[in-house]
A and B are shown apart, each in its own frame.
Chain A
């Protein structure tokens, strides 16, 4: 079964502090992993995907197959990073996404 787990429903850090949003997955094959972000009153949008190996808005995420994790990190949080973050998985050859429960990140000034 495909499953995505985000253990933290809420995460609060101070501006300038490092941020790590945790994501673990369960999938027997080689999945594609994504992070989506939803800012206040806006639609869900793609933040980054593991195959791109890029940094978006200072965020990075590395797929760790041994630990089945895809944690999202940023070294220095900014107030505009406050949002809801969802980790998602897509199985090999599949179209659909399986979402985690989401983590609400709040950056305090």
Chain B
């Protein structure tokens, strides 16, 4: 149980275009979803926390207008990287939690490459 999927697993886009990454909780209702970014050989950096039906809470230094997060349902959150640039190339990971335990279940990640 508690499976989280991400789509796509890999995406290559051209500089200046936008790309959307989906995060789904497959067998539970996720009241909260989290989006992380991981640079090569580095740790996970939280970008934002998203509660269903509410605006996402972004971490300091994360551009809200560049990384648009939508959590419209209890099983789906999306991260849209707008006007992507090569420096946005990274591994993006989502996680989801439910109930009061706040245990996070992680997705497999999405490798974004901006050319």
Contacts and interface: CB of A to CB of B under 8 A. Distances in A.
A46 B103 contact: yes
A47 B85 CA distance: 35
Interface stretch (A14-22, A58-66, A74-82, A91-99): A91-99
Given A101-B42, A101-B43, A95 B32 contact: yes
Contacts of B107: 43
| Highest count of chain B CB atoms <10 Å: which of A9, A43, A100 | A43
A23 to B, nearest CB: 12
Contacts of B104: 46, 97
B43 A100 contact: yes
Interface in B84-115: 93, 95, 97, 102-104, 106-109
A54 to B, nearest CB: 14
SS of B interface (majority):
strand
Contacts of A42: 108
SS of A interface (majority):
loop
B102 A90 contact: yes
A45 B43 contact: no
A101 B42 CA distance: 6
A21 to B, nearest CB: 14
Interface of B: 4, 32, 34, 41-46, 49, 93, 95, 97, 102-104, 106-109
Given A43-B109, A44-B44, A97-B34, 18 more contacts: A42-B108, A43-B4, A44-B93, A44-B95, A44-B106, A45-B106, A95-B32, A95-B97, A96-B34, A96-B46, A96-B49, A99-B43, A99-B44, A99-B45, A100-B43, A101-B42, A101-B43, A102-B42
